Amino acid sequence: MSGISHSSFVSPEFIIRAATENWELQSVARLRHAVFVDEQRIFKRHDRDEIDDVAIPLAAITTMAAEPAEVVGTVRIHQPSPGIWWGSRLAVDANYRRVGKLGAELIRLAVCSANGMGCTQFNAHVQQQNVPLFRRLHWDCVGPVDLHGVRHMHMRAALDHYPAILSPETGWYARSRRAG
């Protein structure tokens, strides 16, 4: 990749799956810090909380020659009570937001994975600017809520639009809209 800077090259192919390798988990943490601490300034030092101890981290990973290369998107899911699931900390690297589908793919993996684990209700607190994306993906607004000083919308997924998958570790490949 000599001569190509990170900001000018956007991989056209991504693996969307549960983050399981140490490098993936470390990259998820770095991405969340970059988005929620450095960029949005929602948190002062870090965004970790007790949910991280039980959550399943999901990732969008760029590929090079069909091999995993870099985590550029993430979301976490957890089940605080039987059948009730939550997604949170959806983040996409600023250089990859123009790809336009990574957030949607991560949301799809989140809900489909929970569905495969017995989900009866899937919720998220969504920042206001992201509500239109979630509505397009068959989510309903439950009501506004303020979290960490930021206005969010409590939203709920229409589960019938998200077929269950049994192996979020396997995930799937996705291509960017700009890919050939």
CATH number of the domain at 13-175, please? Answer: 3.40.630.30
Distance CA 27, CA 122 (A): 25
Residue-by-residue DSSP string for 30-55: HHHIIIIIIIS-SSSS----GGGGT-
Count of CA atoms in the C-beta half-sphere (13 A) of 148: 16
Q: What is the pLDDT of residues 115-155, one digit of tens each?
A: 999 999 999 999 999 999 999 999 999 999 999 999 999 99
Domains in the chain: boundaries:
13-175
Q: What is the pLDDT of residues 43-75, one digit of tens each?
A: 999 999 999 999 999 999 998 877 888 999 999
Distance CA 97, CA 91 (A): 9
Alpha carbon separation from 175 to 10, 11, 66, 153 (Å, rounded): 11, 9, 12, 29
